[in-house]
Structure 1
Amino acid sequence: MPKLTCDISQSLWDALQKAMDDSGEGIDHLVSRALADALQLDHGTLFQVSTAGALVEGLFGGVVSVGMLREHGDFGLGTFDGLDGEMIALDGHFFQIRSDGSIRRADDGQQVPFAVVTHFSPRETMVLEPFGSMAELTAQLDRKRGTDNLFFAVRLSGRFSSLHDRVASMAGAHETLVEATAHQAEFHMQDVDGTIVGFWTPSYVRGIGIPGWHLHVISDDRQRGGHVLDCAGQGITLALEPLDDFRLAMPETADFLAADLSGDTEKALDTAERGRGR
């Protein structure tokens, strides 16, 4: 990352020292946040549409447009109206990965029931050690986090020796998330050059977010992709950004306002998102 060196007044230095003592934050974080505020830039902000609990209950109707999402991020993931495939946003381009395996650029007018996006600005970049499974990958990612209590955005780029992913199919009437993903399409691929986009969500927002790692992938030739269930690779480059500002856009639809979202989402999300418990 670029480094900034400059002279400041003693009064600014004293104020900065006091802010560090009061907040416990490091100088890099405080200065970066102050500059972002002054320049009216988003900094470490994660923007989410709707909740994981709403998805679990089958609230798949679109509530915002892709065009609106662009205003809040250039990097992220989600799904489309009716659970019609997987979304991946990369370098400002939004893609729809459909259950027949096809991939298309998403139109700004397309509706979205759930998405998580950010303006990606990684704090560090490194090459990961070889990994032979999703468990080995996430173990490495967990060691890079340093805390369980912030959100994190990750970008993983390179050649994946194997990928197992799924793509949600259009949901039937009144289906829950578990029911809808029971007839999802699954794909196994070998030696794929691509990029994984994903987020770590802390457990304390269970029911709002999807706790743990949530990863989507797209190949460099834009021919293959989906929600990652398993993967292996070596020489994969990781770019990592901690996110300390979480913003949630709540739907105002009649279905959302009337839904009972008080249930425990853990088992349903584990089955639907990670392919467990089927």
Structure 2
Amino acid sequence: MPELRCAISRSLQDALEARRARTGETLDHIVMAALADALQVDHATLFQISTTGALVQGVTGEAITVAELSRHGDFGLGTFAGLDGEMVVLDGATYRVGEDGPALAPADAQVPFAVITHFLPQRQVTLEAVASLADLQAQLDLERGSDNEFFAVRIEGRFEAVRTRTVGRADSPTEGPATLVEAAAGQTLFAFEQVEGVLVGFWTPTYLQTVNVVGWHLHFLSADRRGGGHLLACSGRNLKAALQPLADFRMAIPETPAFLQADLSSDMRQALEQAEKQG
């Protein structure tokens, strides 16, 4: 990242040190956030619409449009109304990965759940050898400095093998919206070999297990934009990973009857893990 050097007053220095001692933030984070606010530039804030618990319960209707979501970032993942495909947001473009592969999502497409940020990586590493998804996650864990803040990650290069899935719209006119587990049971699986592509994802702390997928959650998009989906397995060599810690988190609650009246008090962790790893 570019470096900024400048002279500041002793009073500003004292205020910075006092803020760091009080909050535990780094000086870099305090200064970047202050500059972004002063210049009206979006900065390291993670924006989320709805919760994974709501998806598990079948609250998958309209909540926000792609156009509205894009105002909160240029990098992210999620799904579409009715669980109609996997979402990948990369370089400001929003893709819907359906049964026929990726396509740009229209601005008025409805989104029930998504996580998005402005991607400003602070650390870049080369993953020389990745044997499996578990190995990838373990190597990424070594690059995290905390278990208690979010991280965004972008991984690109030539993958030896990638396996993904996409869920398809599973709503029934008579039975209503499908739950995430029901939609995942009818998923479409994809397998790629020797493919150039990008992984987009986030790491979520365990204490937010009722809000999001804890640990690493990754979606894939091939360089030719012909393949993608929710990542189930991968391997590769010399993959380039860029990471961004995210200490600011904002979650918007859908103001829809389905969400406001849903019973979200149950423990959804087992059902969510089943849906995320199925396939």
Shorter-normalised TM-score: what interval? over 0.9
How far apart, in 1, do the equivalents of 2:209 and 2:95 lie? 27
2:7 — aligned with what?
7
Confirm or deny that 1:212 pairs with 2:211.
no
1:119 — aligned with what?
118
Which aligned pairs between 1:97-246 and structure 2 lie closer than 5 A?
A: 97-99=97-99, 101-173=100-172, 174=176, 175-246=178-249
Task: Give the secondary structure class of the aligned counterpart of 1:256.
Answer: helix
Q: Given residue 266 of structure 1, which amino acid in structure 2 is its aligned partner? A: R
Consecutive unaligned residues in structure 1, runs of 5 or more: none
How far apart, in 1, do the equivalents of 2:251 and 2:24 lie? 26
Q: Given residue 40 of structure 1, which amino acid in structure 2 is its aligned partner? A: Q
Confirm or deny that 1:90 pairs with 2:95.
no
Give, in angstroms, the shift of residue 146 of structure 1. Answer: 1.6
Range that drifts further, 77-86 or 10-19: 10-19
Give, in angstroms, the shift of residue 126 of structure 1. Answer: 1.6
Q: Given residue 205 of structure 1, which amino acid in structure 2 is its aligned partner? A: L
Give, in angstroms, the shift of residue 171 of structure 1. Answer: 1.4
Task: Give the secondary structure class of the aligned counterpart of 2:243.
Answer: strand
How far apart, in 1, do the equivalents of 2:107 and 2:274 lie? 31
Give, in angstroms, the shift of residue 23 of structure 1. Answer: 2.2
Task: Give the secondary structure class of the aligned counterpart of 1:213.
Answer: strand
Q: Given residue 142 of structure 2, which amino acid in structure 1 is its aligned partner? A: R
Q: Which runs of 4+ in 1 moved over 3 A?
A: none
Q: Given residue 153 of structure 2, which amino acid in structure 1 is its aligned partner? A: V
Task: Give the secondary structure class of the aligned counterpart of 1:129.
Answer: strand
Q: Structure 2 length normalisation: TM-score?
A: 0.96
Task: Give the secondary structure class of the aligned counterpart of 1:204.
Answer: helix
Range that drifts further, 252-261 or 186-195: 252-261
How far apart, in 2, do the equivalents of 1:136 and 1:244 lie? 26
How far apart, in 2, do the equivalents of 1:110 and 1:51 lie? 19
Aligned length: 275
**Residues 206-256 of structure 1: per-residue CA shift (max 9 Å, x gap):** 121111111001001000000000100111000100111111111111111
**Residues 45-65 of structure 1: per-residue CA shift (max 9 Å, x gap):** 011111111000011112110
Confirm or deny that 1:262 pairs with 2:251.
no
How far apart, in 2, do the equivalents of 1:255 and 1:29 lie? 38
2:75 — aligned with what?
75
Task: Give the secondary structure class of the aligned counterpart of 2:245.
Answer: strand
Q: Given residue 271 of structure 1, which amino acid in structure 2 is its aligned partner? A: Q
Provide the identity percentage: 52
How far apart, in 1, do the equivalents of 2:77 and 2:26 lie? 30
Give, in angstroms, the shift of residue 14 of structure 1. Answer: 2.0
Give, in angstroms, the shift of residue 89 of structure 1. Answer: 0.5
Q: Given residue 81 of structure 2, which amino acid in structure 1 is its aligned partner? A: D
How far apart, in 2, do the equivalents of 1:54 and 1:177 lie? 9
1:249 — aligned with what?
252
**Residues 61-109 of structure 1: per-residue CA shift (max 9 Å, x gap):** 121100001110111011111111111000001111102x322111100
Task: Give the secondary structure class of the aligned counterpart of 1:236.
Answer: strand
RMSD of equivalent CA atoms: 1.2
Range that drifts further, 69-78 or 203-212: 203-212
**Residues 114-136 of structure 1: per-residue CA shift (max 9 Å, x gap):** 11110111111121131110000
Give, in angstroms, the shift of residue 26 of structure 1. Answer: 2.1
Q: Structure 1 length normalisation: TM-score?
A: 0.96
Q: Given residue 197 of structure 2, which amino acid in structure 1 is its aligned partner? A: G
Q: Given residue 160 of structure 1, which amino acid in structure 2 is its aligned partner? A: F
Q: Given residue 4 of structure 1, which amino acid in structure 2 is its aligned partner? A: L
